[in-house]
Amino acid sequence: MSAIGELSTMTRRKGPMTKEEKKANGRDNKAAYIFLLPWLIGLLAITVGPMMMSLYLSFTDYNLLQPPEWVGLDNFVRMFGDARLHNSLGVTFTYVLVGVPLQLAVALIIALVLDKGLRGLPFYRSIFYLPSLLGGSVAVAILWKQIFGTTGLVNQVLAMVGIEGPGWISDPNTALGSIILLHVWTFGSPMIIFLAGLRQIPTMYYEAAEVDGATTLQKFWRITLPMLSPIIFFNLVLQIIGSFQSFTQAFIVSGGNGGPSDSTMFFTLYLYQKGFGQFDMGYASAMAWFLLVIIGAFTAINFIASKYWVFYDD
Amino acid sequence: MTKLQTLPAASSDDAKAGKSGKGPRRRESRGSLAFSRSARIKGLVKHAILIIVGGVMIYPLLWMVVSSLRPNDLIFREPGLWLENLEMSNYTDGWSALTHPFGHYMVNSAIVVLGSILGNLISCSMAAYAFARLQFTGKKIFFGIMLLTIMLPFHVVIVPQYILFSQIGWVNTFWPLIVPKLLATDAFFVFLMVQFIRGIPKDLDEAARIDGAGHPRIFLRVILPLMVPALATTTIFTFIWTWNDFFGALIYLTDPDMFTVPVALRAFVDSQSATSWGSLFAMSIVSLLPVFLVFLFGQRFLIKGIATTGIK
């Protein structure tokens, strides 16, 4: 930092403000709010306003045509007795609790294999990263629908070794598994974050461990994992929040109905059907707030639990 | 594909890691001859693992490309990648299978994508400048709120947003998909840019300030030109996410004239029940092509963007 820079930060911090500085500060305020204006309008009109509105709607019966009618806690009571909603929660929880750890484990393993200054790293990294860019698209969901269909690619390959596979996406027992696999397939972006994190672990730790005769496994458990834990945590939080909201894949693979027999009826899919299929906007709003509470709870648990396993170097 | 290996940024951070001695490469280069032999075997095993995993991952995509160039019935009985002759009919059939030629939907998508990119670049960089460089009352609170909105599920606001936009008469227009970007609702990019601006030396602002430049000038003449990499990352991510966006388009665009590519593909799936997978595949590939090209040419920005926002 230059002397001028330092001087200006010093005068800003020390002593009472002179008149001129106050004026400068005031100008900052004005400029800041002008720069923030688009964001502030967005925050109010597109985010906070609608949030409050949907909170209100969740206590009403509203179908877009008649004005909203206050029904108190009716929507929430209805949710208690809605078996399809309970099922959709189960489907979503399974997806999140199986898909996220599986995806992160694969991402971490591949990142570890890639990290050791391997030849052709950029090439491998590109190959592994590509699916995570394409995975959210309708096109890949269509591909998945074919691959895991009764006469799809998977069963064609299985037939070559004499196995007759089930219709993966038409069988309620395996349909969700196929979609979880699609999630695991997109491990590329957490992998990139892991790779960057692995780079930041100082080599001296490994060198010291080597002098002490540590095995590869010990080095992994005692150095790599603790040093990487903040990044594992970050990935975990983001992936859980994101996975609770997945929609496109289940929608396309199941043809929009969450079938077979509701086995891929994600919570978001059910919310969409209620809100934009049946225009039961009050109920959909209540569901949306319920989803927010669930995601918030998961994130909070994550943060609390992180005190016990996430290690910060400084 | 080998072109990717020579991308400057991708290889330069490897070099950096090696030079500073922080890279793992140094760890491996130590040891006796016997050790290096076992290291070589280890290396081979690793390459084997990576090639197998990578192959399995990429195979479905390759197979989709090949299948789109085959007669329709082969899709259900030919798992291999051998092509006897190029069958372009899937592409010509698929292109005109819906109400409009497929190009129509791509143009629609392109309009939404361009609008979104422009919106994000302008609004997010402005907000980021304020958060990174200006002192103002409520800064901490607003910054906290901004971070929280990154994690806010879309579903909590979608119903009232829909009501709002339908009351202004914006359903079946592109506005509901573009206007939120003009208002910096993709807070992720605000954060990304704040991180980037914080890395730009403040001396530059101060120098400009002493020369009498106000905030708009400093922003436009000093900060903006220096944050081109962050703008590039934003452009590329916005492109890919908007191009792939299905949920927003599904809700707001119900008129086939206004369909973007994802909803057009969905209409295609629904209309053709398993009879013309070939043309469905063909159009899927057409729809993935722009994303793939952006990935090819912009992946260093993508990787940097993920890595930096992921770590700090």
- How confident is the model over B79-128, as pLDDT tens digits? 888 888 888 889 998 898 888 999 999 999 999 999 999 999 999 999 99
**Residues, chain A:** 314
For chain B, say whether A289 makes contact (Cβ under 8 Å): yes
pLDDT at B8 over 60: no
Q: With a cut of 90, say whether residue A286 has pLDDT above it.
A: yes
Whether B3 has a pLDDT exceeding 80, the answer reads no
pLDDT single digits (tens) B145-197: 998 898 888 889 999 999 999 999 999 999 999 999 999 999 989 999 998 89
Q: What chain A residue is nearest to B161 in terms of C-alpha separation?
A: A50
B301 pLDDT band, cuts 50/70/90, is confident
Interface residue A208 vs chain B (CB under 8 A): no
> Does the pLDDT value for residue B217 go beyond 60?
yes
For residue B285, list chain A residues with Cβ-Cβ distance below 8 A: 139
Q: Where does the pLDDT of residue B5 fall: very low under 50, low under 70, confident under 90, or very high at 90 and above? A: very low
pLDDT of res. A62:
93
Whether residues A156 and B79 touch (CB distance < 8 A) is answered with yes
Contacts of B310 in chain A (CB under 8 A): 192-193, 196-197, 231, 234-235
A143 and chain B in contact, CB less than 8 A = yes
Rounded Cα–Cα distance for residues B180 and B160 (Å): 14
Closest partner CB to A36 (pick from B43, B127, B201): B127
Tell if the CB–CB gap between B240 and A133 is shorter than 8 Å: yes
User: Mind listing the pLDDT tens digit for each residue in A186-228?
Assistant: 999 899 999 988 988 898 999 999 999 999 899 999 999 999 9
Domain A74-309 has CATH 3.55.50.30: no
Partner-chain contact A126 B299, CB within 8 Å = yes
Which of A22, A146, A294 to probe by mutation at the B interface, max B CB count within 10 Å? A146
Q: Is the pLDDT of residue B304 over 90?
A: no
What is the tens place of the pLDDT at every residue in A235-282? 898 899 999 999 999 999 998 888 789 999 999 999 999 999 999 999
Average pLDDT over residues B17-28: 42
Is the separation of the CB atoms in A246 and A268 below 8 Å?
A: yes
The predicted pLDDT at position A5 comes to: 28
Average pLDDT of chain B is 84
pLDDT at B1 exceeding the cut of 70: no
Amino acid B293: pLDDT: 93
Kindly indicate the confidence band of residue B235, based on its pLDDT and cuts at 50, 70 and 90: very high
Residue B154's closest CA among A292, A195, A164, A95? A292
Q: How far apart are CA B193 and CA B185, in angstroms?
A: 14
Q: Give the pLDDT of residue A69.
A: 92
Whether residues A128 and B54 touch (CB distance < 8 A) is answered with: yes
Query: Taking CB atoms and an 8 Å cut-off, how many pairs form between chains A and B?
Result: 324
Q: Which residue has the tokens 């629908």?
A: A145
Per-residue pLDDT, B35:
60
Residue B30's pLDDT is what?
Answer: 46
What's the pLDDT tens digit per position in A150-177? Answer: 888 999 999 988 888 888 998 899 999 9
Provide, as residue numbers in chain B, all residues whose Cβ is less than 8 Å from the Cβ of A133. Answer: 240, 291, 295, 302
Name chain A contacts of B159, Cβ cutoff 8 Å: 50, 54, 57, 275, 281, 284-285, 288
Mean pLDDT calculated for residue range B293-300: 88
> pLDDT higher for A2 or B93?
B93
CA distances from A107 to A181, A193, B252 (A): 13, 9, 35
Q: Do A139 and B202 touch (CB under 8 A)?
A: no
**pLDDT of the residue at A1:** 25
Q: Are B195 and B125 in contact (CB under 8 A)?
A: no
Residue extents of the structural domains in chain A:
3-53, 74-309
Between CA B135 and CA B138 the distance in angstroms is 9
Q: What is the pLDDT of residue A255?
A: 86
Q: Which residue on chain B is closest to A224 by alpha carbon?
A: B24
Per-residue tokens: A284 = 């959909």
Q: How confident is the model at residue B305 (pLDDT cuts 50, 70, 90)?
A: confident
For B149, the closest of A47, A114, A127 (CB atoms) is: A47
Express as a percent the part of chain B with pLDDT over 70.
Answer: 86
List strand residue ranges (DSSP E) for A72-158, in order. none
Pairwise CA distance, residues B120 & B185, whole Å: 8
φ, ψ at B278 (rounded to 5°): -60, -50
Which residue has tokens 């949306």? Answer: A288
Q: What residue of B is the nearest CA neighbor of A182?
A: B57
Contact flag A276-B162 (C-beta cutoff 8 Å): yes
Instruction: Report the distance separating Cα A149 and Cα B67, nearest Å.
Output: 15
A127–B162 CB contact, under 8 Å: no
Contact A42 B123 (CB under 8 A): yes
pLDDT value at position B43?
83
**Residue A250 near residue A269 (C-beta atoms within 8 A):** yes
Residue B310: pLDDT band (50, 70, 90) is low
- Over residues A16-28, the pLDDT tens digits come to 444 444 455 545 8
CA-CA distance, B274 to A156, in Å (whole number)?
16
Closest by Cα among B147, B79, B61 to A186? B61
Report d(CA A252, CA A231) in Å as an integer: 32
Chain A residues in contact with B2 (beta carbon < 8 A): 123
Model confidence at B227, pLDDT cuts 50, 70, 90, reads very high
- Give the C-alpha distances (Å, rounded to integers) separating A9 from A15, A22, A48, B191, B218: 12, 14, 35, 24, 18
Of residues A29, A151, A157, nearest to B76 (C-beta): A151
Comparing A29-33, A167-171, B73-77, B99-103, the range with the smallest average pLDDT is: B73-77
Q: What is the pLDDT of residue B33?
A: 54
* Cα nearest neighbour of A267 on chain B: B155
In chain B, which residues have their Cβ closer than 8 Å to the Cβ of A105?
none
Residue-level pLDDT at B311: 52
Taking the C-alpha atoms of residue B160 and residue B143, their distance in angstroms, rounded to an integer, is 24
User: Per the CB < 8 Å rule, is A281 touching B163?
Assistant: yes
- What is the interface pTM, i.e. ipTM, of the complex? 0.85
- The residue assigned the tokens 């390759």 is B62
How much is the pLDDT for B273? 58
Q: Region B61-65: what's the mean pLDDT?
A: 94
- The reply to whether residue B49 touches residue A41, judged by beta carbons under 8 angstroms, is no
pLDDT of B239 strictly over 60? yes
